[in-house]
Structure 1
Amino acid sequence: MRITTEMNERLTRVGAGTPMGEVFRSYWIPAVLASDIAEPDSPPVRVRLLGEDLVAFRDSAGDVGLLDAHCPHRRAPLFFGRNEECGLRCVYHGWKFDVNGNCVDAPSEPPESQFRFRVGTLSYPTHEAGGIVWTYMGPIDRMPEPPDYEWLRAPATHLGVSQANEPCNYLQAIEGGIDTAHSSFAHNNDLSNTSHLRALDTHPRLEVDVADHGFTYASLRRIGGGRIYLRTYQFAMPFMQIRGGLITWQGDPAPYPVLHGHVWVPIDDENTAVFNFAHSADPAQPMEPGWFEEHEDEMGRGPRHFADGTHWLVRNPGNDYLIDREVQRTRTFTGVEGVNTQDYAIQTGMGRIVDRSREALGSTDLAISTARRLLLEATDEVAAGLPARGSDPASHRAVRAGDILMDATRDWREMSKDVREARF
C-alpha cells in the first residue's frame, strides 16, 4: 500500500475536525498517570491531548476532572489554581469549577448574580483504570463503554505503568513499536551474542489476521533444529500494542511470564505521550517487588532518565541521545543506552512527521501497512457515523499475546491459542 502525501496528512493530523482527530475522539484514551494526581486536593497538572491544552486535578472526594486549561472568565491558566473543597479555583479572580466544569463560585461577581450559571468551562469525562486516568473527547451521544483490556483488570500487585513522552508524530511511534524486524538490529545490545533468538533469523516471516479489535500479527523466525521462534502481538485500534514476555515451549508455562505493551497517544501533531504497561501473566503470581522499576530503568524510562518533574527524556534529539560511538563500535549495535531510547532516537530522527511517500516498504512491514490501512478505513467509518473498530470493550477484553518456541511443522495459530487468551 503506497502512502501518498495526501494520505500521510490524513493519517498524521489529529486536531479537532481532522479525519484522524475525529477517530481518536471516538475512543477512550489515556490522559495522565493516576500517580501524577495521586492525592485528593493535590496540585493540578498540565495535560495536552490531540492539540488541546487541558488541566487535570483530583478533587476532595477523589474524583478526577479534566478541564480546559484556561478559565472562561479571562483565560487565566488554571494550572496555577487552588485545588480545594471539591473544585479548582482560579487564582486570578477566584472563580471555581468542579470536575464537571460547572462554575460553583464566582466571588468577583455580586452575591445575587446568576452569572456563574452561564459560564461553565469545557470538561471531558474521565475513567480511572490500570493506574491511568482515561478520557473521552468525542460526542457524548456516541461515547462507548470504558475500555476493558486485560491489563486494566490486573490488580495493582500485578501491574506497573509508566509514561515517556516522545517528540514526534504518534504514527511513527506506533510503527516503530509494531515493527518486529528492527529488534534484531536496533536492540542488539550484545554484539558478541550471535546465538540470541532474534539474531538467528533477522528476516522473520510475518502473518497478520485482522480482527474486531484491530489485528493479531505473528513473527516467525527459524532458529534451527526444526524449531520456530514465534512472537505473537496484538494491535488494538487505534494506538495500542500488546506483546508477550518470556518464552514457552509449545505453550508450556514460563517460570515468570510478564506481558508488556504501549499506548501511543497524540499530544498534538508533532508529539506523543507513550504510556507503557507490564503485568504478571498469572493471576496467582503478583509481580516481583522492584521488577518493574528495574525493567523501566533498563529500557531507559526510569526516573534518572527524565528531566526533573517531567516525562521528557534527558536523552533527546538536541543531544543526539548521548550516542557513544565507541560503545557502538565495540559493544552494541546503536551505541545508545536503553531499548526505549534506541527507538526514540530512530523515530524522532525521521523528523517530527515523516514523509511516507518516499518510503520503500519490504516483506517485514506487513503489520505497518495493515495498521495504516485500518486507520485510513477508520477515518471513513467515523465520518459515516459508524462505530470505530475496537472501541467496543467486547472486541478486546479477551485479547492477550505471547511468545513460544514451536515445531516448524505446526500451525502457529493453533499452537499459540492458549497464550493469546486473557486470564484475568
Structure 2
Amino acid sequence: MLSRKDNDMLTQVGPGTPMGELFRRFWLPALLEEELPEPDGAPVRLRLLGEDLVAFRDTSGRVGLVDAYCAHRRAGLYYGRNEENGLRCVYHGWKFDVEGRCVDMPSEPHETNYKDRVRITSYPTAIRGGVVWAYMGPEGTQGPLPEFEWSELPVAQRTATKRLQRCNWAQAVEGGIDSSHISFLHSRKEGTDSGPRNPYHQSDRHPVFEVSESEAGLVIAARRNAEPGHYYWRVTQFLLPFYTMIPPVGAFKESSREPYDGHAWVPIDDHTTWTWSFSASPARPYSDEERETRGGRKGFWGPVDEAYLPLLSADNDYGIDREKQRNDNFTGITGIPNQDAAVQESMGAVVDRSKENLGHSDRGIVNFRRLMLRLAKALAAGEVPEAARRGDLYRVRSASVVLPADVPVETGAAGLLKAAPAPADR
C-alpha cells in the first residue's frame, strides 16, 4: 500500500508536479507519424502530461508541437491554417512557426516589431520508428532519443500502434509488470481451440519473483516450475519512465529470435493514458498477417476506431460474454488488451493504493513504486536520472527461457536480454 500523499505524487503528472517534472526529462511518444502524413496537412489536437497542445507538419516537413491556444486572445489553433511554414490562427491571422515564434501579425501595424516579442510554448520533436517523439523538459536539457531496438529496425520488421485507456498511467504500468496475473486474467479453459500457448503459466500459478534494479529501470524475473530439474523464467523489463517489454511466448530456449512486444503508457493527464504497443522482429520481416495482427487497428492490440479509441470499453462492458466465461476463457472478454483495460479501468481513474493488501507476487510493483518516487524526489533536489541522458541503456530485450534449476537467471538469460548493436548508419 501507499500513503495517499505518495499516491498523489506517483499519479499526478501536470506541470510543476514531481512526477510530471520527471516525465518531462525524457523523450515521450507523442503521435504516430501516420497522424501527420503530409506537409501543410490538418493539425492534430493532443494532450500530454496535462497540457493541451497542437501538432502540425509545416511546408518543409518539420513537425511542430505547440500550445493549443493563440497568444493573442487564446483562440484554438486546431482550427488554424497550416500554410507557408506556419500555423495561422483563423481569428486574427497571427501565425506561429514550429518553434513557437510569431512570424506574422497582420492585424497589427506593419511598422511595429510587436510580433518579434510574442511566442507560444513549443517543444522539440523528432521522428524515429514511425513515431513522433516530444521533449517537454526545460530548454536545452534534452538527452538523446531512447535507442529501442524496434525503433531502428526496417519498417517490415516493426510495428507501432496506440489506444486510449481511461485510467492513470501508473495502474496501467503495474498491470504490465505483473507476471502473476497471466495465469488467471488471460487464461483459457483447457481443451479450447485457443488454449494457452504457454503451459507453465497454467501448471504453476504462484511464481517466485526476483527483482533487480538496472540503470534504465527494473528487471523483473518470474520463476515457475518446468520439467524436473528446470525452471521457466519470464523476464520483463521496466524501462524509465513508463515502458515495459513483454517476453516472447514461444520457443522458450530460443526466445532471442522470436518477435517480441512492448508498451509505453504515456500520461494524457492524471486520469487518462495513451497505451502504446510496439513490436519487433529482429530476425525476419513480419508477414502481412503478422503485421495486421500486431499493428493494425483491428489486430491484437485493437480494435480501435479512427481516433484510436477502443471499440470495447466500460460503455459496453468490454463485450463480456458470460457463456464464454463459463466455457472458454477466464473473463468472458475477448482480447488481452481488453481484459487488461477492464480490470485496470474498473479500479477507477486513480486507484486508492492506501486500501490495498499486497503479497509476494507484487514485488515488482512495490519496487516500481519505490523507484519512481525516489527518482521524482531526487530530480526535485537537482539529480537527473542517468537513463534520461543515455539512449544506449534502452538497447535491451525481454526474455522467456527454461533453465536448469541450478543456473541463476541473471546468468542463463543474460544473452537473451541484450538487443542488437546500434546500426552503423544511424
| Alignment TM-score, normalising by the size of structure 1 | 0.94
Change (3 A) 1:314 1:397: closer
Q: Matches of residues 98-247 of structure 1 in structure 2 within 5 Å?
A: 98-192=97-191, 193=195, 196-247=199-250
Alignment-derived partner of residue 65 in structure 2: 66
Establish whether residue 382 from structure 1 lines up as the match of residue 418 from structure 2: no
The 2-side partners of 1:79 and 1:398 are apart by: 37
Alignment-derived partner of residue 301 in structure 1: 301
Identity score, percent: 42
Establish whether residue 288 from structure 1 lines up as the match of residue 291 from structure 2: no
Amino acid at match of 2:370: R
The answer to whether the 8 Å contact 1:164/1:313 transfers is yes
The 2-side partners of 1:301 and 1:247 are apart by: 19
The 2-side partners of 1:397 and 1:14 are apart by: 23
Instruction: Name whichever of 151-160 and 202-211 sits farther off.
Output: 151-160
Equivalent of 2:318 in 313, 317, 321: 321
**1:191 positional shift:** 4.2
The answer to whether the 8 Å contact 1:147/1:392 transfers is no
Alignment-derived partner of residue 274 in structure 2: 273
Change (3 A) 1:87 1:263: same
Establish whether residue 340 from structure 1 lines up as the match of residue 337 from structure 2: yes
The 2-side partners of 1:245 and 1:394 are apart by: 23
Amino acid at match of 2:269: D
The answer to whether the 8 Å contact 1:208/1:215 transfers is yes
Change (3 A) 1:299 1:338: farther
**1:153 positional shift:** 1.8
Change (3 A) 1:289 1:270: same
The answer to whether the 8 Å contact 1:219/1:230 transfers is yes
SS at structure 2 position matched to 1:46: strand
The 1-side partners of 2:288 and 2:59 are apart by: 31
Q: Deviations over 1:352-393 (max 9, x none)?
A: 000001111111111111110000001111101111242122
Establish whether residue 371 from structure 1 lines up as the match of residue 374 from structure 2: no
Establish whether residue 409 from structure 1 lines up as the match of residue 410 from structure 2: no
Establish whether residue 331 from structure 1 lines up as the match of residue 334 from structure 2: no
Q: Deviations over 1:293-316 (max 9, x none)?
A: 2235676533xx224x31111211
The answer to whether the 8 Å contact 2:292/2:299 transfers is no
**1:109 positional shift:** 1.7
**1:249 positional shift:** 4.8
The 1-side partners of 2:163 and 2:200 are apart by: 28
Amino acid at match of 2:408: D
SS at structure 2 position matched to 1:111: coil
Establish whether residue 75 from structure 1 lines up as the match of residue 78 from structure 2: no
Change (3 A) 1:404 1:363: same
Change (3 A) 1:201 1:319: same
Alignment-derived partner of residue 11 in structure 1: 10
Change (3 A) 1:110 1:191: farther
SS at structure 2 position matched to 1:314: coil
The answer to whether the 8 Å contact 1:40/1:59 transfers is yes
The 2-side partners of 1:201 and 1:395 are apart by: 35
The 1-side partners of 2:295 and 2:155 are apart by: 17
Establish whether residue 52 from structure 1 lines up as the match of residue 51 from structure 2: yes
The answer to whether the 8 Å contact 1:399/1:422 transfers is yes
Alignment length (residue pairs): 416
The 1-side partners of 2:171 and 2:291 are apart by: 26
Alignment-derived partner of residue 415 in structure 2: 418
**1:225 positional shift:** 3.0
The answer to whether the 8 Å contact 1:300/1:341 transfers is no
